Amino acid sequence: MKKLVNVLKYLLFLAIGLVVFYYIYREVEFRELKEQVSSINWWWIALSLLVCVISHIFRAIRWCMLIDSAGYSVSRFRTFCSVMVMYFVNLIIPRGGEIVRCTVLSQTDRIPFAVLLGTVVVERAVDMLILLIVSVFTVFFQLDFIKSLVSQLDSDAIFSRFAFLFSPFFWIAAIALGCVTIAVLYKFRHKLLEIRLLKPVVELILKFWNGIKSILRLKHWPLFVFVSVLVYLAYFTMFYVAFFSFAPTSGLSFGVAVTTIVVGAFAMLVPVQGGIGPWHFMVFQTLAVYGVQIADGKIYALISHSTTNGMCLIVGAVCLIYLTLVGRKKIAPVGGEKNESDSK
């Protein structure tokens, strides 16, 4: 029954995304789309995709730093392949890529899955912090843009539904509950391990916590911060370079690219495969505020989304096949710690 519910949820969100996508592009004629696509400078798109790959390489390097600090050796290349598999799976199953990338790397490099998942939690927390900082600067420096964009949307309906997220009491309570839970589990971990029924669960939680603690054991904090900045700088640059491929967007600034990425990132919170529909909507609405015609903005959103995700599908599929063929391979641990299989 649970699997059936998950399948139905998957199909529901996919249907929602497709409906939004159809609503956006229902008035775009195929002949007009063909003409616009033929005017695209594909060299700029190719350069944009190259920068996109570079951003994924930086992400893989950053993940390696967290895994190393958790006490495990890992292949840089296989880590990059796992990151690409994540993007591939996310385009099929929303949020599923995080689990799959930990699974495949756990199988190839013999690192406990829970440890990898803990490092991913840290990685995503850093991503959220960076996105929050960039969002604050975006609001501060482009307040007029924010007002114009909100005026185009049904802001009352949006904020009434998610009002609790803006309450400091909600976040204080959530953080306090998490800290208390972790403290209790850690204090009574030895007693809980003595209970046969709870032992597997407690061991999994401890491994997960070990992954989270990896950020506390980082040897090169400045390098970690620098690589994290490079991840997003490459991401913003990728979007900015793509502007030059299309005449109506070729005059837009780097700041517009940053703003569009930030707005599009919030659209990606909707659990729809690849953000199809909501992402396109937010992008062309954002570009419209900066003077791009609605029709041109829709074309740009379609081209940018299709090429980037098409590349992730192809590269991700190749990486998945490679990692599947590699299978398990024993890797020497770092810092004297033993991998899970070595202790048996």
Both tokens assigned to 87: 């993007």
Return the pLDDT at 13: 64
Per the CB < 8 A criterion, the answer to whether 59 and 127 are in contact is no
Residue type, 211: G
**How many Cα atoms within 13 Å fall on the side-chain side of residue 157?**
4
pLDDT at 204: 60
Q: What pLDDT, on the 0 to 100 scale, is given for residue 64?
A: 93
Give the integer Cα–Cα distance in Å for 17 and 26.
Answer: 14
The per-residue pLDDT for 3 is 63
Per-residue confidence (pLDDT) for residue 201, from 0 to 100: 62
Instruction: Specify the pLDDT at position 103.
Output: 92
Cβ-contact 316, 87 below 8 angstroms: yes
Could you state, in chain order, the average pLDDT of each consecutive group of 10 residues for the chain (344 residues)? 63 71 75 81 95 96 90 91 93 85 90 86 84 79 62 52 55 74 71 64 61 69 91 94 93 90 81 80 88 89 92 93 72 45 39
**Overall pTM > 0.85:** no
